[in-house]
Structure formats: C-alpha cells, structure tokens
C-alpha cells in the first residue's frame, strides 16, 4: 500500500468532536475519579499479567505497546455472560450489531473496520468462516468454559496474517487445576429460555483433561421488528461441546489437543424484495467443527522453543424454506499448519537487555462449497504461505520495543502482500505511568465469494487484490490513588485502501482511502476491597473515500460495570449492575432493485441496563439471578430487525471438587 505523507499532519490537526466533546470526556473522567473515596483497598491490576495475542510469544501486559483489553473468567461469571458477543460491548473500540434476537447474525467491528476485518482465534484456531465472507459466527459462541478473552486493537497482519486489519479477538478456554472438578449449571427465564451446562476437569503434574457441554434454547422474539407488525417469535437452539487435553511425556516436551463442536438451529424471517423484513417460516441449521493439535519442544533450559501446530475449522450451514426443502448450502473450511521457533537470551552488560527472536512458517488452505438451485454444487479453494519474523527487546526493565515483518505468498489469483508492525511501551515506575504506542499495516484477502461467487445478479471477480491498511495509536496509562484507580487513554487512526465492494454485477477494489479515527478511554477502580468499577468510552469518526460516514458505526459507545461483594448469613454474595450505551448510527436499505435505489436510515441510540445477583448458599451450591434490558428499551442495531425487551433469568450452580464456587461454569 501507499503510505500517505500527510497522515501525521492529519493526526495533529484532528479534533475529536471539537472542544465541547473533549471537555465533556475529561469532565466525565474527572467526576468518576473524584467521587472515589480515599479508603484502604485492594488495588486493581493495571494491566493483564500475560497477553497471548499481542506477540507471537506470551508477553507481560506492562511490556506490550499494543492496545489490548482482557476479560477474565471471573468477570464473565460476575456479569453472568451467556452469549460471548454481549461482553464485547464493554470493551473500548468495539461495536457490536446483532440482526434481531439471540442466535441471529452478529457482527463485531474493531475501531470502525468491517466485521470480516477482525481475526478470531479460539485456543489458537483461526475460526473465521471462508464461506461466510471471512467473518466468525459470533451469534453461536456461548460462554462454555472460557478462561479469558483478549481484544487486540489495530492492524495485526504482520503477526497473524489476513483478516486482522481491525485487530484480533483471542479466546482461550480453561485448563483445569490440580485434582478433579465436576460442575453443573442450570437456569431458565424470559422468552422460554433454558440453559444447562456440565463441566469436568482433571489436572496432574504431567496430564490434564477438561470437557464442557452447554445446551441453550430460547423461543426468542421476532427477528423482524415486532413493532412493525411481526408478532411471530423466532426460536434458537445451541448445543456446544468442548474438549481440551494435554500430556507432558518429558520435562521439555508437551502435546496438547483441542476439539469443539457447535450444533445450532435458528428460525428465520423473510427478507422482502425491498425496504424491510417480515415474518416468515424459513430456518437454518449450522454445524461448526474446530480442532487443533500442538507439540512444544523446549531446549537449552527454555532458551530455544519449537512449536508445531495443525488446525482445522469447518462451518456448514443449510437453509430451508417453509416446507422444509433445502434451498441453499454453504460450507467453509480452513486447514492450517505452522511451525514456530523462539530464541530467548539476555545481554546484562548492555542496558540489562532481554531479547526474543521469533520465526514462523504457515501454510493455509481455505475452501468454500456451495449448492443452490441456481448454480448447482460448486467448490473452490485458495492457498497461502506466510513467513513471519518478530524481534522483542526489553531495556532496563522499563523500555520495551518490538518489530514484526510478514510476507504472504498468496494464491496466484491475487497479489502477494508484505506487512509490518512495531510497538513501544515505556514504564515510569515512580509516577505509576506507562506510555504505549504502535504502528502497523494490515491486509485482508478477497473472500472466496468475491473471487468466485455466482448468483442470478452477481459474478465473482478473480482479478481482485487484497484490502490494505495503515494504523497507528498512542496512549497513556496512569495509576492513581495508590493504584486503586487505573486510567488509560488511547488515540488511534486507520487508513484503509483497496476496499472491496459490489459494483454492477461483480466486485471491485474501490479507489481512494477510507479513514477511521477516535479515542478509547477506560477506567478500572477498586475504591473499597468489596467494590470494583469498570468504565469504557469510545469516540469514533469514520469516512469512506467520498467523505460519507460508514454505516453501523456509532460515534459514541460507553459502558459501566460495577460489582459489589458482601455476605448473607456469612456466605459470599455479589450484586452487579451494567449500563451500556450505543449512540446514533446509520444503516442503508434498498428502496428498489431495478434501478437500484439506496436510502440511508438513522438508527436512534439506546441505553441498556442489566443487573445481577449471586449467593453462595452452601460451600458447593450457588443461587443466581439477573435482569437484562431492565428499562425495556426498544431499539434496532440493524434496520428492520428487532431486539429483546425486558428479560429475567435465575438458576443454580453446583460444584464438586476443586475450589468452591468454581469449575468453568
């Protein structure tokens, strides 16, 4: 891509929302921090201890120059998260759009990039669907045994390849501790919702194994907005199973395997020829299968590491009409094998330096199979080979630098790409300050449908090239009040070129540059040992090459979560409240097809209030309840599609073995 020389002037000249917006953001942050009482308290962690996705090797959070947020299993449990995409709304820089009720198409955008420009990893498996516009099906991801979620923002292609223009969402499932753990959870509530989970785990010095089964079903609400005269409810069912195991036959050699399967069914509504969607009887069934095998060999007392991985991901979706006849099949698969070697060494005589050198080789094959009455069965595939190098340097235990370079030898159909990334973190310990910055480029390969797709009104374009991007960010993290409060502010900007868009009856790379830029603010506070407060705010500006704002990108997004721990009858209890605000945004609708007429619609902003309660009735039995959308807000995240109103849910959690009240449920 061409890096435009004026981009630094644009950053200096940019005023996010004008002086009024800046004053409002500063005032809000000041009010939040000033209101905190000065009492003795446990200190919140200023940053995650280890971040897996910000480098090709795990790195300490304070040493990462990337903008990354980590949601832990404890936070997932405290907020009673059942659908993972819901908790992503609490993270700065993230916008979530769901097309209706639970189980419907859910898109996640990082810093204004498209949904298919976010790479998603589950236990190291790339799960973006090659037959689904290279997006991950977030609507089917349940919180079943998840240990942590990392959201890494900014172009990451130099580390992780295609699909990482907006960033990376890395999901890691739980690895059991010593001994046996058996746990179960069951709940029910509004919209005829039932949710049940069973988990087992065993851990020993050289062996571990864990498994989780989660069954979720709901009658839901109408996907087509009920207020537009669509009373029919659209149900959703999901059965998720996960297995994770590892064995260490020697002190320096470990083998791990991961397996996951998701079976889901969804009642759909019909898309009208123009303008809107209406009640209908169509359905879809999806099977997602993911697997990984990994071997790690460590030599020279841990200084030289070799990692060999092979991963497989497959998404199969069948669509049916009201009579049960199959109308369309869409299957996407991804096979990937990679080898990585890491060399770690120190040079104490030179700036107390610590070095990490990484080299990796990746081979990936993406395949798409479709079958419809129009085109009949059709299977296409592309291959990619990636070469990755990364160098990390730590100086005086306070300055941390990294640089990465990657070359992708793409399928002969489209151009190869070379991407780079560099980061900086500087820790000023006496002040409790950490400066962080990053810059890098990204690449997004054309989807298989864009290359080879065929419908009555569309023919693929094998001459397409990758989408490309440049992204920069810089921020400051500050600890206040004896580390009881940690504030982080980050300024970011991205320039995206060669965007792929439909033009006539095919797809083309558009000329010009799209821009996204904004501010991410976060605050984590523990004013008392029994109280935790988390705040996030994002201001986002987007413009396409014609200067028009991009759709489904709210300018303002904010979230607040507060958790209070107390005791009832000398048993632990918690109460939490969550408030999420999504600002005004736009969407487009087709008023006609021939000739094509597109109208931009405004979607009003909304505020969602959720609350939860839990009580450890006995050492092994927990009672919990929660309310969602307590204000019964009516809103749309996609034009014409409804969203659930007020919902109330309650249930029990039972844990046998392991620590009381835990167990991956």
- The two counts, helices (H) then strands (E), for the chain are 6, 39
pLDDT in tens, 40-69: 334 555 566 789 999 999 999 999 999 999
**pLDDT higher than threshold 50 for residue 1:** no
Is residue 229 in a domain? Answer: yes
What CA–CA distance (Å, rounded) separates 613 from 650?
9
Is residue 455 in a domain? Answer: yes
**pLDDT higher than threshold 80 for residue 387:** yes
Is residue 1 in a domain? Answer: no
Structure tokens at 562: 């507060």
Q: Which helix (H) or strand (E) holds 217?
A: strand 207-218
Rg of the chain in Å (alpha carbons): 24
Structure tokens at 597: 């007429």
Structure tokens at 236: 């959703």
Strand, coil or helix: 437: strand
Is residue 664 in a domain? Answer: no
Closest to 10 (Cα-Cα) out of 546, 470, 455: 470
**pLDDT higher than threshold 50 for residue 446:** yes
pLDDT score, position 25: 40
pLDDT score, position 554: 97
Q: In the predicted model, what is the mean pLDDT of residues 418-442?
A: 97
Closest to 33 (Cα-Cα) out of 580, 479, 556, 563: 479
CB 372 within 8 A of CB 328: yes
Closest to 292 (Cα-Cα) out of 315, 314, 309, 316: 309
pLDDT in tens, 529-575: 999 999 999 999 999 999 999 999 999 999 999 999 999 999 999 99
CATH assignment of the domain containing 297: 2.40.170.20
Is residue 399 in a domain? Answer: yes
CB 609 within 8 A of CB 635: no
Closest to 62 (Cα-Cα) out of 519, 351, 426, 479: 426
**507 alpha-carbon distance from chain centroid:** 27
pTM of the model: 0.91
CB 94 within 8 A of CB 85: no
Is residue 662 in a domain? Answer: no
What CA–CA distance (Å, rounded) separates 518 from 27?
18
**pLDDT higher than threshold 70 for residue 276:** no
Is residue 661 in a domain? Answer: no
What CA–CA distance (Å, rounded) separates 75 from 102?
21
pLDDT score, position 27: 38
CB 369 within 8 A of CB 376: no
Candidate from 426-440, 455-469, 506-520, 622-636 with smallest mean pLDDT: 455-469
Q: In the predicted model, what is the mean pLDDT of residues 81-101?
A: 96
pLDDT score, position 664: 45
Res. 35 pLDDT band, cuts 50 70 90: very low
Range of the domain at 401: 7-656
Peptide bond into 595 cis (omega under 30): yes
CB 254 within 8 A of CB 302: no
CB 108 within 8 A of CB 115: yes
pLDDT score, position 15: 40
Neighbour count for residue 427 (Cβ, 10 Å): 18
Candidate from 93-102, 296-305, 654-663 with smallest mean pLDDT: 654-663
pLDDT in tens, 168-202: 999 999 999 999 999 999 999 999 999 999 999 99
pLDDT score, position 596: 61
What CA–CA distance (Å, rounded) separates 248 from 665?
26
**302 alpha-carbon distance from chain centroid:** 32
Measured torsion, CA atoms of residues 317, 323, 325, 326, in degrees rounded to the nearest 10? -20
Residues facing 283 on adjacent strands: 267, 320
How much is the mean pLDDT over the chain? 90
Structure tokens at 370: 């479709």
Is residue 97 in a domain? Answer: yes
Closest to 423 (Cα-Cα) out of 111, 16, 56: 56
What angle (nearest 5°) sits at the alpha carbon of residue 554, between those of residues 549 and 556? 120
Q: In the predicted model, what is the mean pLDDT of residues 459-465?
A: 90
Q: In the predicted model, what is the mean pLDDT of residues 218-231?
A: 89
Neighbour count for residue 595 (Cβ, 10 Å): 5
φ, ψ dihedrals at 488, nearest 5°? -135, 135
pLDDT score, position 665: 56
What CA–CA distance (Å, rounded) separates 560 from 88?
13
What CA–CA distance (Å, rounded) separates 442 from 154?
9
Q: In the predicted model, what is the mean pLDDT of residues 216-224?
A: 94
**pLDDT higher than threshold 60 for residue 389:** yes
Residues facing 613 on adjacent strands: 575, 625
Q: Name the residue with higher pLDDT: 324 or 125.
A: 125
**pLDDT higher than threshold 90 for residue 23:** no
**pLDDT higher than threshold 60 for residue 31:** no
Strand, coil or helix: 259: strand
The count of domains in the chain is 1
CB 281 within 8 A of CB 233: no
**pLDDT higher than threshold 60 for residue 663:** no
Q: In the predicted model, what is the mean pLDDT of residues 496-501?
A: 93
**DSSP-H helix ranges across 72-111:** 73-78, 84-88
Q: Which helix (H) or strand (E) holds 157?
A: helix 157-160
């Amino acid at each position: 891509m061409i890096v435009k020389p004026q981009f630094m002037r644009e950053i200096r000249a940019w005023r996010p929302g004008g002086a009024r917006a800046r004053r409002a953001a500063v005032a809000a942050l000041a009010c939040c921090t000033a209101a905190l009482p000065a009492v003795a308290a446990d200190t919140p962690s200023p940053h995650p201890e280890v971040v897996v996705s910000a480098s090709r090797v795990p790195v300490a959070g304070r040493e990462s120059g990337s903008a990354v947020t980590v949601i832990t299993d404890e936070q997932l449990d405290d907020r009673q998260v059942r659908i993972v995409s819901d908790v992503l709304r609490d993270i700065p820089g993230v916008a979530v759009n769901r097309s209706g009720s639970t189980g419907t198409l859910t898109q996640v955008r990082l810093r204004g990039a498209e949904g298919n420009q976010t790479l998603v990893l589950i236990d190291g498996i790339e799960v973006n669907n090659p037959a689904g516009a290279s997006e991950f099906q977030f609507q089917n991801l349940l919180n079943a045994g998840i240990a942590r979620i990392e959201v890494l923002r900014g172009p990451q292609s130099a580390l992780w390849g295609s699909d990482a223009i907006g960033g990376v969402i890395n999901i890691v499932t739980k690895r059991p501790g010593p001994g046996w753990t058996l746990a179960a959870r069951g709940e029910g509530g509004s919209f005829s919702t039932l949710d049940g989970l069973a988990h087992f785990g065993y851990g020993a010095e050289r062996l571990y194994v864990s498994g989780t089964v989660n069954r979720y079903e709901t009658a839901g609400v109408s996907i087509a907005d009920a207020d537009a005269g669509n009373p029919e409810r659209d149900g959703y069912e999901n059965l998720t199973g996960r297995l994770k195991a590892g064995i260490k036959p020697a002190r320096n050699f470990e083998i791990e395997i991961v397996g996951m399967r998701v079976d889901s069914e969804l009642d759909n509504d019909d898309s009208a020829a123009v303008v809107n969607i209406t009640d209908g009887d169509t359905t879809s069934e999806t099977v997602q299968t993911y697997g990984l095998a990994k071997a790690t060999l460590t030599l020279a007392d841990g200084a030289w590491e070799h990692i060999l991985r092979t991963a497989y991901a497959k998404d199969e979706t069948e669509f049916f009409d009201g009579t049960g006849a199959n109308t369309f099949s869409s299957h996407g698969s991804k096979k990937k094998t990679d080898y990585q070697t890491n060399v770690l060494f120190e040079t104490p005589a030179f700036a107390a330096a610590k070095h990490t050198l990484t080299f990796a080789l990746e081979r990936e094959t993406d395949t798409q199979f479709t079958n419809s009455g129009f085109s009949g069965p059709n299977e296409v595939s592309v291959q990619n080979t990636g070469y990755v190098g990364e160098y990390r340097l730590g100086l005086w235990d306070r300055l941390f630098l990294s640089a990465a370079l990657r070359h992708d030898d793409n399928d002969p159909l489209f151009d190869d790409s070379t991407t780079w990334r560099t980061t900086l973190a500087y820790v000023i310990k006496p002040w409790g300050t950490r400066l962080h910055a990053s810059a890098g480029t990204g690449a997004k390969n054309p989807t298989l449908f864009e290359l080879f797709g065929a419908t009555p009104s569309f023919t693929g374009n094998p001459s397409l090239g990758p989408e490309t991007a440049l992204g920069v960010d810089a921020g400051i993290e500050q600890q206040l009040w004896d580390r009881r409060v940690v504030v982080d502010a980050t300024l970011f900007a991205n320039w995206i070129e060669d965007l792929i868009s439909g033009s006539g009856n095919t797809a083309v790379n558009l000329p010009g540059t799209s821009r996204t830029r904004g501010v991410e603010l976060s605050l984590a506070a523990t004013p008392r040992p029994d109280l935790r407060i988390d705040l996030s705010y994002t201001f986002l500006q987007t413009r396409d090459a014609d200067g028009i704002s991009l759709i489904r990108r709210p300018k303002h997004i904010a979230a607040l979560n507060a958790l209070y721990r107390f005791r009832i009858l000398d048993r632990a209890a918690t109460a939490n409240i969550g408030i999420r605000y999504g600002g005004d945004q736009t969407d487009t609708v087709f008023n006609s097809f021939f000739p094509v007429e597109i109208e931009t619609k405004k979607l009003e902003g909304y505020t969602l209030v959720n609350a939860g309660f839990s009580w450890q009735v006995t050492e092994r039995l927990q009672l919990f309840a929660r309310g969602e959308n307590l204000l019964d807000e009516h809103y749309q995240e996609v034009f014409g599609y409804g969203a659930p109103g007020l919902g109330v849910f309650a249930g029990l959690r039972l844990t046998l073995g392991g620590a009381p009240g835990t167990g991956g449920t």
